[in-house]
Structure 1
């Protein structure tokens, strides 16, 4: 089975001064501090890089800052980490970060052109080597990998796709062995359904519109046992991009979208390994659509769902959509039952109409 990675969940570094670290990553670079917990002798802080990708720091008072060394320089002896590279949209973002680092007194390199990406190099207050990189348009390494290792002694090292047979075949973890043990920080969060990432309601300033006032209540839904064909028909007929997936109690358990359906047509690692040429046959991908329609919703849906509470401010819903690059998200009540759906256009329309009404009263 192909493992679907969603990014680097978080990296964990160490600092002897969490105050200075917060000032650097949050106040200088602008990363939002999203989680901080601990007790004397054990503290950990998380900064949001993008989406759900985070960088974190333990505060250990006896740890010393790393002695600066140039990124990529070879070392002797025990060694684990060289540098962390953080992606940015374009070279204008690199110039912006460079100016902030220079103004704050942190060394920053010129922009270095690596062919398929551009980078600048610096260090945080702990001496951790940092790289900021943006892609160069026109170089797609997924479809066109570039292998130029002049020291490689065999084709094995420069094969882009996973090579089977290198490790023992794994056995599935049995039901009785599937144990989840409480860890640090669990007591700070309420119990929520396993499959739903719910944005909990917050207090709404007087006069601010709530999600319940703007959302659509009549929502087309599906269940895990429905077929993809039925979902595709609803999407086509109603001109929508996807459906919430609910259980028998109308609790939100997932979402199925056009993207999920089309993704099923694309080749996975196994297809690349067995027949790379066939895996790049785009006509064959289209032809496999009939088979995809026979699958169940449960096979293709995304079980990790971003939703918003019914009493949340509409601008919080807009912020959630902007953060995750969505145009609409499901709305749930206190029991995580589906209550409706809200889109960016719903929010913009509501704010625009309110402005018209306020203007006419002035």
Structure 2
């Protein structure tokens, strides 16, 4: 069984309505010690995320345009407003969570595998993903720290899952021929199998398990069916 977002997400989520004012958002971020909040519409659907950076845009804008009594030329202000800095300026002028937030939000679902959630975070450069149900309503939130929980699985659980994944009809599933050890998430495979392809398949199974840190393959085989050259007596 693969670990999903639903297994590691936090369900006690701090969120704000899109109409919440700046002070409410800032107060929640500071007092709940979070770096960002999902923003919801009146039906509880996630419409964006407001972060510390979004709030700081207001202070940054004030210093950029009004610090030290500096006033940029009108042409410069127009270019900034409609160019690459326009979005930041719009946020700086915002007063509610809906005006300050980054939208649309990158979200995930409870049934998504943790590895896919991690890839989504990396692809979009975010530290957290709101978790939504089929209707887009918030049910939790998953952070990078939550995803690391998969690496805290018990060694015995990892070993049992690998043994259960091996086809019962496989000759190399014989305990007398195969030795599987798991220590701090590192799987060591040793013993003897009949074919090189079986060693590759077993290694692939081990590497695909959630929570596995590394796989050390020390298997030998009787026949190298991968290279097409019989190698009797070991690899």
Give the structure-1-normalised TM-score: 0.35
Q: Which runs of 5+ in 1 are unaligned?
A: 1-206, 277-291
Distance 1:247 1:336 in 2: 11
Structure 2 match to 1:257: 51
Q: Does 1:308 align with 2:104?
A: no
CA distance 1:275–1:266, change in 2 (3 Å): farther
Structure 1 match to 2:152: 353
Query: How many residues matched?
Result: 140
Matches within 5 A, 1:284-299: 295-299=95-99
Shift of 1:308: 0.7
CA distance 1:303–1:346, change in 2 (3 Å): same
Structure 1 match to 2:24: 230
Structure with more relative contact order (C-alpha pairs < 8 Å, separation 6 or more)? 2
Q: Deviations along 1:228-280, whole A, 9 cap, x unmatched? A: 1111111111110011011122111111110111112233998643498xxxx
Distance 1:213 1:232 in 2: 30
Q: Tell me if the contact between 1:227 and 1:293 (Cα under 8 Å) persists in the aligned partners.
A: no
Distance 2:36 2:102 in 1: 11
CA distance 1:307–1:294, change in 2 (3 Å): closer
CA distance 1:356–1:272, change in 2 (3 Å): farther
Q: Which runs of 5+ in 2 are unaligned?
A: 66-70, 77-91, 161-180, 182-235
1:339 counterpart SS class: strand
Shift of 1:359: 6.1
**Which protein is bigger by CA-based radius of gyration?**
2
Matches within 5 A, 1:1-362: 207-267=1-61, 272-274=72-74, 295-349=95-149, 351-358=150-157
CA distance 1:356–1:346, change in 2 (3 Å): farther
Shift of 1:325: 1.5
Distance 2:123 2:44 in 1: 26
Q: Deviations along 1:123-181, whole A, 9 cap, x unmatched? A: xxxxxxxxxxxxxxxxxxxxxxxxxxxxxxxxxxxxxxxxxxxxxxxxxxxxxxxxxxx
CA distance 1:260–1:357, change in 2 (3 Å): farther
Question: Which structure has more helix as a fraction of its residues?
Answer: 2
Q: Tell me if the contact between 1:318 and 1:347 (Cα under 8 Å) persists in the aligned partners.
A: yes
